[in-house]
Amino acid sequence: MLKQDLIMKNPLRLMGHQTDDILCDGGFGAVIARAGVGKTALVVQLSINAQLRKQNVLHIALKDPVKKVCLWYDEVFRNIVEHYNVSDQDKLYEEIIPYRFIMTFRVEGFSVPVLEERLTDLMEQGIFVPKMIIIDGFPFHDDVRTSLDELKTMAKTHGFHIWFTVTAHRHDMPATNGFPPDFSQVADLFDTVIQLLPEGKEILIKSLKGGPENMDDSPLRLNTSTLLLVDHS
């Protein structure tokens, strides 16, 4: 399979979007699920697809060390190339690695000013200029709107968009708009929201905001062993 064919198999296209560039500069996307359901695997797939298209991705992990994040990328990439029978797998992986930069923080040490300082250092030295940022483990709590507003301003200024993972808790009742209660208060800042729901031996993918209108007519599912989207095309 050619690289261009692999790009066409990316998650957002399988979800029915015409293009995976669905977020404009300053745009926010979210992947919501309970712990262990597949949030990180899905955003890593989005990241790998961007890398295949030669777009720089900054992956910010607030809970996992760099080594563990790298293992996520190794595993997801291996599952993708084996599933689609891609040739020259090692060569392709070496080709896309320069388009990825992993940055870690402790949750309590993360703030937008600190992130902007570190990001500015990278950009001004020409080390790395992201087009997409992933924030895995961002804490959504009562006073989070100020930080999100700051992140949106920074994203618009520097010309990138941001995907977040959002942890839903089993004991929390959804708000009237269907979002987890902590996330509900800031959902208006997000352009696209995707939810992952365990359903027997599969993981249902549901569009809560910004997805194609007919997506729920033929819902997509994740394969629980590979955590890849099931492709019926």
| Predicted confidence pLDDT, tens digits, the chain (233 residues) | 567 767 666 666 656 555 556 788 999 999 999 888 889 998 999 999 899 999 999 999 998 999 999 999 999 999 989 888 888 899 999 999 999 999 999 888 899 999 999 999 999 999 999 999 999 999 898 789 999 999 999 999 999 999 999 998 777 666 666 788 889 999 999 999 988 988 877 888 888 888 665 455 556 777 877 777 765 54
Distance separating alpha carbons of residues 204 and 220, to the nearest angstrom: 6
CA angle (23, 3, 161) in 5-degree steps: 15
pTM: 0.90
**206 φ, ψ (degrees, to nearest 5):** -125, 135
Radius of gyration of the chain (CA): 17
H/E stretch holding 203: strand 202-209
Domains defined along the chain, listed by start: 3-223 (3.40.50.300)
